[in-house]
Structure 1
């Protein structure tokens, strides 16, 4: 037998191996390329009409939970706004603005009492007597001759009784009759009962005459823990004014909600079976938010009647993830007699993205039936603002995987956005419709993705069989040849 013929099977085997490796490389490269593709040509599966209710050069469109449910790219990257001709319309995402807190100083009249001279020894008596009657503190000025101004070392200030929950005043503002110029350093002391006093800071009241007008410093700051009574005592070097009135300054904070959260009320649902369900799944109150939403607060709504329910609140993003405990709390609803509205436990502040939520009632408390409990979710949903260009009507499209971000930065889209915001137009979303061709493409892509591993295994098995045949033929040829 010709020795050159013995090399043919070897060459065929090498070629087969190379072919198998080439086919595998093609399949792997194709799968990797598809997995990493980001394209604007990918099909948008869902579309909804944009109904402009107030026209403007820039129109604000609040996004609904359905947008988050239909979006298939992280961070709403697959959102697109199209005009009537299918041309893209530039837009930007607007995150909800936080609450705006403004602080105003409100001034209330305080009562002044002239202090008697400080004794050389013994207790320094107050110019008033404090009595308790019917649960209220009352003051009565002591009798006797009036205290001379030149002998008084300062003043007693009654800030008044505070209502429950009312914040303490933060400053005193004085008015005086004269002189026109003075400098009066002082020491402050505070007390709740006119007996025990503690230091409350120091400062200086000033009045100066100038060509542009009088320069004055009439305010005395107070500590956070100030009590009802304040004693202002002049320092020995002071040239004090003659006070005629005092006012206590209370900080009044007002919170304004600029972008209200979206409220969703959900009924409980059976917990889907998973490896992490456990024994708790049978007694858990399970809620599916239908999309991953930026949740601000959660509130369990209990049925009518007086109910107290300790619960452990848990959350997760996917069904194949273990539950993570957010907090343990007590949910209650207290029924009052006489038609008074029931007291409810405050909402639970969350401030995180959530999809699935469950509440585990404590085994030591009787939980209501799952169908009787609802969950109110308040979510900080984003908005989009788009330029009203192109041909209306406009459409919002979403539902493409691996899409490149379609939103522009807000400063790029809207010049002087803070000033322009108050002039934004208003729009709302219509009902979403599913595009049949896009849905079919998604099904085809999912089927191909499911078949790809089987095709790869088939190619591998065929390659193994081919190699086995080549090795068998090579071994047979070597075995039948005469000795060299």
Structure 2
């Protein structure tokens, strides 16, 4: 039994060697295993950095989901990273802008709105309200005209500050105009200033309907005497389209009879198409279809009207179509020839997708390299909350920035995908594992069959 006991003592080491064999055969990833490599330049505070992935680099990947994307350090070690996709919804930015205000007087007994006579400068800016600059006897301050003519964006909120002899609630109507003649109602507003003991409450803000207007008129209801304004701010909003990453010009694979075909290097969830019309005075109703490969039927993606037409001495263009974000590998553009077609020149196509951001944790020494293009690579990205403990959107915005610099190095890497159902690499690894286990079984049987050595008394 002493031999068997010795064998059992060797079993852990033998098993470790057998289990390590597949790992040794699989090997560690290195930059040389990727077809496209581009150096990265880092700026800002680390150790985390974010990279807006250009679509030109995305198109060099072998997988649409970027499972073959890696970031390496100067020692050739892969770094931990996460992938984030930009939003498909547009965002809004809000800006507070101080505006000028002008008083409106009328007799205390007059029920109607005060009549306005103003002097406007270039661009419609109010310079002077000629009536009511000095109140006549028996007239009271009924309200104010606010000059928002410098704002071209929708108005979202009004913020006022004022001085008054007494506290309380004060209500007023809000009206809007673009010419100071025709006014439309924007509802009611209310400001309030209350204090009790050492506490004070100020209600200074009121919502606006989110429409454009050059002028606002505030008319106080009760009491009719309006307070003296000390500040007027208008909050406007700017709609920011969802960020889109655009490709370069893609040549059609073939064209003819009003149909054009494109094949992308990799299937992408397209959000936009930009079709640059080669000739002026072009009007083209078009239909766009897509599919994943030659074995699928074409399915509808978009329909629209493209044009490049003169207007008032300039040219107006409509060359962009919105798509539903369905992954496609091939595109077909059909042009209705009744509009005159696109002429003899070939249209230039650009595709747009949601921006992809790569966030990675630096380790080791530079230079750092972004690598793509490995058909056999497996997904290695982490969730962003795992990569950055305590992650939030504000922290992401403060990360350092990585930028592709220099020319991308393109190498020929043999990466043939195994045929479906025949994974030779996996078969080889399992063969090594089975052979190791079989060796252990033979050794155990050999020990059991050998004659036992007589014990010496």
Same fold (TM over 0.5): yes
- Partner of residue 458, structure 1: none
By percentage of residues, which structure has more strand? 2
> Per the alignment, do residues 254 and 229 of structure 1 end up closer, same or farther by CA in structure 2, a change over 3 Å counting?
closer
Structure 1 residue corresponding to 2:349, chosen from 360, 371, 375:
375
3-state SS of paired residue (1:411): helix
- Of stretches 218-227 and 302-311 in structure 1, the one that deviates more from structure 2 is 218-227
3-state SS of paired residue (1:314): strand
Structure 1 residue corresponding to 2:39, chosen from 35, 51, 66:
51
- Partner of residue 295, structure 1: 270
Once the two structures are superposed, residues 197-250 of structure 1 have per-residue CA deviations (whole angstroms, 9 ceiling, x without a partner) of 7572242432547647x6544455544569745352332xx4956425663524
- Partner of residue 330, structure 2: 356
Post-superposition offset of 1:366: 0.9
3-state SS of paired residue (1:266): coil
Give the whole-Å Cα distance in 1 for the aligned partners of 2:241 and 2:183: 41
User: Normalising by structure 2, what TM-score?
Assistant: 0.65
Post-superposition offset of 1:64: 5.3
Question: Which aligned pairs between 1:22-421 and structure 2 lie closer than 5 A?
Answer: 46-54=34-42, 57-58=47-48, 60=50, 63=53, 65=55, 68-69=58-59, 71-73=61-63, 75-81=65-71, 88-96=78-86, 101-118=92-109, 124=112, 126-128=114-116, 141=131, 146-148=136-138, 152=140, 155-160=142-147, 162=149, 166-168=153-155, 170-171=157-158, 173-176=160-163, 178-179=164-165, 181-188=166-173, 190=175, 192=177, 200-206=187-193, 208=195, 211=198, 216-219=202-205, 221-224=207-210, 228=215, 230-235=217-222, 238=223, 242-243=227-228, 247=232, 249-253=234-238, 255=240, 261-270=245-254, 282-335=257-310, 342-345=315-318, 347-350=320-323, 352=325, 353-369=327-343, 371-389=345-363, 396=371, 398-401=373-376, 404-415=378-389, 419=395
> Per the alignment, do residues 270 and 110 of structure 1 end up closer, same or farther by CA in structure 2, a change over 3 Å counting?
same
Q: Is the 8 A contact 1:309 1:361 kept in 2?
A: yes
Post-superposition offset of 1:129: 5.4
Structure 1's unaligned 5+ residue stretches are: 1-38, 272-280, 450-484
Once the two structures are superposed, residues 256-301 of structure 1 have per-residue CA deviations (whole angstroms, 9 ceiling, x without a partner) of 98x7624322233316xxxxxxxxx731132223222343422111
By percentage of residues, which structure has more helix? 1
3-state SS of paired residue (1:264): coil
Give the whole-Å Cα distance in 2 for the aligned partners of 1:330 and 1:196: 37
| Total equivalences in the alignment | 381
Structure 2's unaligned 5+ residue stretches are: 1-24, 423-457
Post-superposition offset of 1:147: 4.7
The alignment's C-alpha RMSD in Å is: 4.7
User: Normalising by structure 1, what TM-score?
Assistant: 0.62
Give the whole-Å Cα distance in 2 for the aligned partners of 1:243 and 1:127: 19
